[in-house]
Amino acid sequence: MRERALTRLLHLYFRVSRGMTLGVRAAVLNAAGEVFLVRHTYVAGWHLPGGGVEVGETLEQALAKELREEGSIRLSGPAVLHGVFFNRAMSRRDHVAVFVVRDFVQDGVRQPDREIAEAGFFPLDALPEGTTGATRRRLTEIIQGVGAATEW
């Protein structure tokens, strides 16, 4: 309940301070057929790492920042845009750009803190219980090579 209230409060702030909210997420895929996921302290479920794009940031800058912060992951090659999705469930103004990352270096193991409760790589065929529907849909699109939906 507290998590949901905090999430709503943050989105209310963004709604007042910005005309539209834009976020980035990444499907970070390693050679072992695993994907990097995070579990936040303030919202339920396992998610692709990512966050909001701040004023003055490009999508790529925001993505690189969020990957460093949430997974100690540094891009070593290009991130490929998978799609931009309308996140109607969050608000009528929210959009999420999803990138596929295959070229990266992980500089260390992400330790839990106030924002990230857990993080790690998981086999694509054995995602952790609680992986969100949107995360599962994006991974299916990416792995199976099917067209991206328009909504999160």
* Domain ranges for the chain: 2-144
Give the pLDDT confidence score for residue 111 in this predicted structure.
Answer: 86
Residue 14, pLDDT above cutoff 70: no
Query: Of 3.40.50.300, 3.40.50.720, 3.90.79.10, 3.40.640.10, which CATH number belongs to 2-144?
Result: 3.90.79.10
Range 125-137 average pLDDT: 97
For residue 11, give every residue at least 6 positions away whose Cβ sits within 8 Å of its Cβ, in sequence order, or none: 21, 90, 91, 94
User: 134 and 44 in contact (C-beta within 8 Å)?
Assistant: no
**Three-state secondary structure of 87-124:** CCCCCCCEEEEEEEECCEEECCCCCCCCCEEEEEEEEC
- Give ∠ CA 132-143-88 in degrees, rounded to 5: 40
Higher pLDDT, 31 or 86: 31
User: How confident is the prediction for the chain on average, in pLDDT?
Assistant: 90
